[in-house]
Amino acid sequence: MVQNLLKALADPNRLQIIEALASGERCVCDLTSDLSLTQSRLSFHLKVLKQCGLLSDRQSGRWAYYRLQPDVIQTLQGWLETLIARSQSKAINCLD
């Protein structure tokens, strides 16, 4: 799962979307204008982020609203914390 999250976050446009949604749920129409992306390009990136679980959406009339999924972000955070903890280990001395 973490590998899919990292792949999704590797694109600068997707990082911008994540940062834009950090302040809360947003309408796709607002994201299109704020991020200067065409609607088709934005839809592609939103689909990728939704497929990996970072986003959820809801329909209201003709508009879709997107929001971050904090539990998935916490999974990523936990993986990073484990990585940090493991990186502190010293190497076992080699026998000459």
Assign 66 to helix, strand or coil. Answer: strand
In order of start, what are the domains of the chain with their CATH numbers?
2-82 (1.10.10.10)
Q: How far apart are CA 1 and CA 8, in angstroms?
A: 11
Phi, psi of 92 (to 5 degrees): -75, 135
Please give the pLDDT value at position 92: 82
Q: Please list the pLDDT of the chain residue by residue as tens digits (96 residues).
A: 889 999 999 999 999 999 999 999 999 999 998 998 999 999 999 999 999 999 999 999 999 999 999 999 999 999 999 999 999 888 888 876
Please give the pLDDT value at position 90: 83
Cα separation of the two ends of the chain: 40
Please give the pLDDT value at position 94: 80
Please give the pLDDT value at position 96: 63
